[in-house]
């Protein structure tokens, strides 16, 4: 009887535990169900928000395109007429000529700003990549700069660049910005030197080892100009940001933002290395195949 009683007690105890466990399981399951419902709700919310964001983004691009496009026309007129006024009516008035010259300069600055903004907002439109011989792209850019290169007494050394699957007009913009900067920020150097080198590398990383059959290339645009402090590295790739005063170095601060946007669209990387007074190197990593 004693043993029976014990077994009975034990059974009861077990039943208690079992009940407790099923209760616990039920609670957990409910919690999990709730959680899943919540996750589903949140995901739906996120998807909606994302769509909304994409639409806003598109609108914004449209807006900046229209604004910069429409601003171009009046500013061109201002430039033309003010030049006419200067030449026809102000020839003997030095003070008036000075004011008009400053107006012309401001209008020119505005024009570059608008052109750059236009280029920036155009980046989001879809274009098809094609096999692009970067040597050709680079030569085109260099020939656009040949006057400035000569005036600055600069030497440009180029090495063999690869042919990659990319959007040529966009990579032209990247080279234009980087080489334009290298020339602009050459400082008082008597012999500005710009070197463009390229090598194939095995993976998408700035410090990837060189590899003759690598699927990426690393292109470096190096100058011996004024350089900059690397603590500001992030800043220079942000639109409208400049580390130098606009009096000494004209510009809009859009060039590197455009370059970064383009390189990222090509699924690549861009960074820079520099020290004040010791030149700057801009390093680009690009996949040979666009995807
Ligand atoms: N090669 C360079 N050497 C030194 N500083 C540079 C160089 N390239 C860019 N920078 C710095 O980064 C800033 C942003 O460059 P960018 O976007 O091209 O604008 P912008 O040329 O209109 O000033 C420049 O104003 C300058 O301070
Ligand atoms: Mg620039």
pLDDT digits (tens, 9 = 90+) for 221-241: 999 999 999 999 999 999 888
**Is the pLDDT score of 130 beyond 80?**
yes
Ligand 1 pocket, residue 182 CB under 6 Å = yes
Best residue among 179, 256, 261, 275 to mutate for probing ligand 1, ranked by most atoms within 8 Å of CB? 256
* Domain layout of the chain by residue ranges: 1-125, 130-287
Q: Are 274 and 227 in contact (CB under 8 A)?
A: yes
Ligand 1 pocket, residue 226 CB under 6 Å = yes
Same fold, 1-125 and 130-287: no
Average pLDDT, the chain: 91
| CA distance linking residue 149 with residue 154, whole number of Å | 5
CATH class of the domain comprising 130-287? alpha beta
Confidence of residue 83 (pLDDT cuts 50, 70, 90): very high
Residue 207 to residues 1, 162, 217, Cα–Cα distance (Å): 81, 19, 11
Q: How many CA atoms lie within 13 A of 5 on its CB side?
A: 2
Distance between Cα 21 and ligand 2 center (Å): 68
Ligand 1 pocket, residue 170 CB under 6 Å = no
Region 188-203: what's the mean pLDDT?
Answer: 94
Ligand 1 pocket, residue 179 CB under 6 Å = no
**Is the pLDDT score of 157 beyond 70?**
yes
| Pick from 99-113, 131-145, 194-208, 218-232: least confident | 99-113
Distance between Cα 121 and ligand 1 center (Å): 20
| % of the chain exceeding 90 in pLDDT | 69
| Gyration radius of the chain over CA positions | 31
Identify the CA nearest to 180 among candidates 119, 129, 103: 119
Confidence of residue 268 (pLDDT cuts 50, 70, 90): very high
Contacts 24+ apart (CB under 8 A), 264-271: 265/123, 265/167, 265/170, 266/129, 266/166, 266/167, 266/170, 266/171, 266/290, 267/204, 267/291, 268/204, 268/216, 269/204, 269/205, 269/206, 270/237, 271/206, 271/233
The reported pLDDT for the residue numbered 291 is 81
Distance between Cα 240 and ligand 2 center (Å): 10
Topology of domain 1-125 in CATH is Helix Hairpins (1.10.287)
Atom of ligand 1 nearest to the CA of 282: 1
Residue 171 to residues 176, 218, 260, Cα–Cα distance (Å): 8, 14, 11
Ligand 1 pocket, residue 115 CB under 6 Å = no
């Amino acid at each position: 009887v004693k043993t029976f009683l014990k077994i009975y007690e034990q059974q009861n105890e077990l039943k208690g535990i079992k009940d407790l466990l099923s209760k616990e399981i039920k609670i957990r399951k409910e919690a999990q169900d709730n959680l899943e419902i919540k996750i589903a709700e949140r995901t739906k919310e996120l998807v909606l928000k994302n769509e909304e964001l994409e639409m806003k983004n598109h609108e914004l691009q449209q807006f900046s395109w229209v604004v910069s496009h429409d601003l171009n026309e009046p500013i061109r007129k201002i430039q033309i007429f003010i030049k006419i006024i200067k030449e026809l009516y102000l020839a003997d008035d030095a003070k008036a000529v000075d004011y008009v010259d400053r107006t012309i300069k401001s209008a020119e600055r505005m024009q570059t700003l608008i052109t750059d903004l236009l280029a920036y907002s155009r980046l989001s439109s879809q274009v098809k990549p094609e096999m692009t011989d970067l040597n050709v792209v680079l030569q085109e850019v260099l020939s656009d700069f040949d006057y400035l290169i000569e005036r600055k007494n600069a030497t440009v050394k180029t090495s063999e660049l690869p042919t990659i699957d990319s959007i040529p007009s966009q990579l032209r913009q990247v080279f234009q910005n980087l080489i334009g900067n290298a020339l602009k920020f050459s400082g008082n150097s008597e012999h500005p030197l710009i070197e463009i080198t390229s090598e194939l590398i095995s993976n998408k990383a700035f410090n990837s080892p060189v590899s003759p059959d690598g699927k990426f290339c690393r292109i470096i645009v190096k100058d011996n100009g004024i350089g900059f402090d690397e603590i500001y590295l992030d800043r220079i790739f942000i639109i409208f940001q400049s580390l130098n005063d606009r009096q000494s170095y004209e510009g809009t601060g859009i060039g590197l933002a455009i370059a970064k946007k383009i390189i990222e669209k090509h699924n690549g990387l861009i960074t820079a290395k520099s020290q004040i007074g010791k030149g700057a190197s801009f390093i680009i990593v690009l996949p040979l195949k666009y995807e």
